[in-house]
Amino acid sequence: MARLGPNRYGKSAVRVVKVERSGDRHVLRDATVAIALEGQFEAAHLGGDNRAVLPTDTMKNTVYALARDGYTGSPEAFALHLARHFLEHPAPVTQVRIRIAEALWSRIEKHGKPHPSAFLRAGTEQRLARVDASHTGMTVHGGINDLLVLKTTDSAFEGFIRDQFTTLPDTSDRVLATAIRALWRYRTDPADYSGCWHTARSAILETFADHESRSVQHTLYAMGESVLAACDDVDEVRFVLPNRHHLPVDLSRLGLENRNDIFVATREPYGRIEAVVRRS
Amino acid sequence: MARLGPNRYGKSAVRVVKVERSGDRHVLRDATVAIALEGQFEAAHLGGDNRAVLPTDTMKNTVYALARDGYTGSPEAFALHLARHFLEHPAPVTQVRIRIAEALWSRIEKHGKPHPSAFLRAGTEQRLARVDASHTGMTVHGGINDLLVLKTTDSAFEGFIRDQFTTLPDTSDRVLATAIRALWRYRTDPADYSGCWHTARSAILETFADHESRSVQHTLYAMGESVLAACDDVDEVRFVLPNRHHLPVDLSRLGLENRNDIFVATREPYGRIEAVVRRS
Amino acid sequence: MARLGPNRYGKSAVRVVKVERSGDRHVLRDATVAIALEGQFEAAHLGGDNRAVLPTDTMKNTVYALARDGYTGSPEAFALHLARHFLEHPAPVTQVRIRIAEALWSRIEKHGKPHPSAFLRAGTEQRLARVDASHTGMTVHGGINDLLVLKTTDSAFEGFIRDQFTTLPDTSDRVLATAIRALWRYRTDPADYSGCWHTARSAILETFADHESRSVQHTLYAMGESVLAACDDVDEVRFVLPNRHHLPVDLSRLGLENRNDIFVATREPYGRIEAVVRRS
Amino acid sequence: MARLGPNRYGKSAVRVVKVERSGDRHVLRDATVAIALEGQFEAAHLGGDNRAVLPTDTMKNTVYALARDGYTGSPEAFALHLARHFLEHPAPVTQVRIRIAEALWSRIEKHGKPHPSAFLRAGTEQRLARVDASHTGMTVHGGINDLLVLKTTDSAFEGFIRDQFTTLPDTSDRVLATAIRALWRYRTDPADYSGCWHTARSAILETFADHESRSVQHTLYAMGESVLAACDDVDEVRFVLPNRHHLPVDLSRLGLENRNDIFVATREPYGRIEAVVRRS
């Protein structure tokens, strides 16, 4: 009466920190890895036969083991290394997804000089890498998560549809804030994933800063265009942008005028804008 | 050079609480609603032309307004009501997704008697409803989120593949804990969504409790079978089950024996098992 | 130029789960323990001399080891057991604080019959125990954390001071919701900590439900009185009550009347009411 | 039989964002404010008489209103402004505590040039200010919260007490990571709170980076000394330092050697070290 549909399993939230001590300056890498496998796992589901099942505990150990010699550069390269390992495994795996989120650390400075072995978390932002691998090919994504940005001018929202439930006034000058999530797909293998990442991130930030925004959608699209223009190796980028509303406080009820300078930052509800921008 | 790919937008985390005071016993409904629309929104993205854009602020107001007369029964019925509203809207909408998560409240008891107007949050669990609507049809899902369960016996995990990185021992008697997320699809329109929800939930819980589990996958599938057996109106159910590992503490290092009774509950890393079980 | 002021250290978030399998029905205990020690630790701070320092890692191990034979009843009894251990330790400890938060599990039911070995998380609520111990005595507290309650009537807030910034209208019938945190101190050693806990919890819940509330302060005090009346062994109780505001939605802007039934639940900002009620 | 003990109430999590647009470069301030009042509020608790009660909703409005002209410099100055307002209020207030946590934003850069009106969240860190005010005086604290730091060398932990439950090996070279919370008290009124804040923060960071750490306690004390040495206006500083353990992975079980470079970052349990360092 029942049958098994699409399924996958794996280990999430595997945290591995690597310290490279080879030179005078230590290098710090801080990754949270998630692994998901698809394959011939029907016997485990239907009959409790585990002979084809690679334990998720082993996946965790594999992250630690392969990080030792294989996490020496970009998270994309490490994700590719992990993906190949699981694809070549005796377990009946047909599809592997590796996701890595790197926490970003900068060096503590003293008199403007960066310290060789002491670090400070740089922002709430994470660098993302994702690899989807099967026996017929690999797809690589790079990205950004939770990059908090805010602009205090050059953002409007007006001329929208109004219905019986619309109370929002048109505004030609609002505060715009969001937590950028962007994931871009590589169409070719870039020589330098980290270089690409910095290029894409700068394109996104500079466009956010300079754009004459008429809506979140409008700025999302402009940021996508700028990534495609800056990164030849990328063929599409997907954004998820929560609108972190900053509402002008109605000071008139308090006997004061709000000179467009006092806002309340709200967490919920929030607008959520999501789109893919593609190379045509 | 660029073009717009798939896109949607909407309002998330719209919280609405409704109190029904008609009888002696007040009824409390506590929903968090998310709305996402797809449609002809290219002009907004490419040119900043908002004439087709329904503000997410209006969506929020619509939830409040329609809750007044339309949130009188199940969250599924309220989601259908909201979906129809947006589908019939002058805005160029082609696809609507409404998701509702209800917090569950039980009545405070005094000498075993439930109070007519005072409530207590019942569990961490949420009841889920989802409607996907287009001009050609509607799909309704019911579900459960974050239902924490744990069993202290009748759970094994043995006979799995071992490789050079496997250190996990076989175990024939472990603690099994998870936070159940289940979403089931209705193939027909049940007379009573809330009745179905209780039936499906009981089937899941009883199967979890009684199953001789050989793995999370094995119990997942059994829970799926039990939902299909119990609910004629359902044609598939998708589970996401994080394995909330309870690891036996190695007391031998402390000069003691662990009689399979002392465990450390860990949050990360965690196994994640995901599958669809379908009516065949 | 500098000197050491008040200081303490310890291990927090030690999670230990214990399964009692002696009878037909398994008993599940799920504790999160925090330990803090004060004592003669100046040499460690000033000179890096660790000879008097008991590692926090050892404290963690101690929780696991002592749970084996010492966590057989109430969390208060286990906390006392841990406190005595550290007080009698060769390390120069003068003051010990043990805090335990128990997650609450109920049994999964089938046809109304509770299952012997399968459990369901009961609420978001935690049971608290705290012991403060020195060589001159011990103080024991019991308590509750994060007990979410809501009442739909019998709550008013009116007649308060108004100034130039007051916009809140008087209300004679509002929704009142809070997440109760209560910590009560035992003046005598009760025969049965768990019995006391249930008595105090019932007193709090029933008072919350039945009280004709004129403010959070008013209901807080009534709940404190009821605990003192119900529990002879208790001499004071401290409450922290966040006001989980449920604001009536202004539907008049949407062309509708709010019949005091549609509310938006907000998270921030929130009122915070805190007081001790003492036996006089 | 019951009487009221210590009590206070107020509004927490009041978020206010202020944009200063006077010059070419916008200035962004982002505060979360908490207010707590003590005073003669017995009638409210015992009898539900609200005539002396200033609603927390009014406190929230007061933050918005006073931010307009009074939040023009440091959070300490704004906190003082708010404290004076409530102390001079007709409500029977005897003690006011204002706490402010500022989110930190840096400017988005383009070709190394900071943007006049576009910002990026700088770190997870918050700047803290606290004012405790009564009719007899005011105390001002400045501080830091959640400043994540990590050092990859110059940290040892050895020579500690061992007992039957100790399994931790001595280590002469470990990873040390923490989330710094520091709160320092001003003994005199500095001309420039923000200058002091930067001086104290640099002293803390540079000491963390350079210290030959023998324990968290040892580094805590050194950081305290450095704040007192750098800031004449400060007479004591209190630190709370969670030990964000980075445990070397036992790769030997995987057939590999850990060259002190592969670590797992854990969240719980965690050590917690807390001390005050005072000017003598």
B61-96 pLDDT per residue, tens = 999 999 999 999 999 999 999 999 999 999 999 999
**Average pLDDT, integer, range A130-140:** 97
- Among chain D residues, CA nearest to B165: D254
User: In this complex, is the C-beta atom of C171 within 8 Å of any C-beta atom belonging to chain B?
Assistant: no
Q: b/e map of D137-173 (b: 16 or more CB within 10 Å)?
A: ebebbbbbbebbbbbbbbbbbeebbeeebbeeeeeee
Q: What is the mean pLDDT of residues A186-215?
A: 97
Catalytic residue among C18, C32, C56, C72: C56
What residues of chain C score a pLDDT lower than 70?
none
Place A106 in a pLDDT band, splitting at 50, 70 and 90: very high
Instruction: Indicate the pLDDT class of residue B24, thresholds 50, 70 and 90.
Output: confident
Mean pLDDT for A185-207 is 97
Q: What is the pLDDT of residue A102?
A: 98
* Annotated catalytic residue within B56, B72, B94, B152: B56
Mean per-residue pLDDT, B214-218 = 98
D104: closest CA of chain B, how far (Å): 26
Q: Is the pLDDT of residue A23 over 90?
A: no
The SS3 call for residue D156 is coil
Most D CBs within 10 A among A150, A153, A226, A244, hence the mutation to make, goes to: A150
pLDDT in tens, chain D (280 residues): 899 999 999 999 999 999 999 888 999 999 999 999 999 999 999 999 999 999 999 999 999 999 999 999 999 999 999 999 999 999 999 999 999 999 999 999 999 999 999 999 988 999 999 999 999 999 999 999 999 999 999 999 999 999 999 999 999 999 999 999 999 999 999 989 999 999 999 999 999 999 999 999 999 999 999 999 999 999 999 999 999 999 999 999 999 999 999 999 999 999 999 999 999 9
Position B22 scores a pLDDT of: 82
Residues 85-114 on B with a CB inside 8 Å of C are 105, 108, 110
Q: What does the pLDDT average to over A113-122?
A: 96
Point out the residue among D54, D158, D160 whose CB comes nearest to the CB of C161: D54
The CA distance from D172 to D213, in Å, is: 10
Average pLDDT, chain A: 97
pLDDT interval class at A209 (50, 70, 90): very high
A240/chain B closest Cα distance in angstroms: 9
Q: How many CB atoms lie within 10 A of CB B195?
A: 12
Determine how many CB atoms are found less than 10 A away from the CB of residue B203: 21
- pTM, entire model: 0.97
The confidence score (pLDDT) of residue A154 equals 97
pLDDT at A215 over 90: yes
pLDDT in tens, C65-85: 999 999 999 999 999 999 999
Q: According to the model, what pLDDT value does residue C22 have?
A: 82
Mean of per-residue pLDDT scores for chain C: 97
* B245 annotated active-site: yes
Query: At a CB cut-off of 8 Å and minimum separation 6, what does C103 contact?
Result: C30, C31, C32, C121, C126
Residues 219-278 of B with CB under 8 A from D: 253-255, 267-268
Which chain D residues contact residue A19 at CB under 8 A? 152, 175, 260-261, 263
Q: Please report, for chain C, how many H helices and E strands are present, in that order.
A: 5, 10
What is the rounded distance in angstroms from the CA atom of residue C117 to the CA atom of residue B205?
12
pLDDT at D101: 98
Give the rounded distance of the alpha carbon of D201 from its chain centre: 11
Out of D18, D32, D56, D115, which one is annotated catalytic?
D56
Instruction: Write the burial class of residue B113 (CB in 10 Å: 0-12 exposed, 13-18 middle, 19+ buried).
Output: exposed
Is-catalytic flag, C245? yes
Residue A13 — left, alpha, or beta (φ > 0 → left; ψ -120 to 50 → alpha)? left
The stretch B138-149 carries a mean pLDDT of 98
* H or E element, residue C242: strand C234-243
C57 to chain D: closest CA residue: D168
C150 contacts in chain B (CB < 8 Å): 28, 105, 118-119, 121
pLDDT for residue D1: 84
pLDDT the model gives residue B88: 96
Tell me the residue ranges of DSSP E strands in chain D: 2-20, 27-39, 93-110, 113-134, 137-151, 176-186, 234-243, 246-248, 262-265, 270-279
pLDDT (0 to 100) of residue D198: 98
ipTM of the complex: 0.96
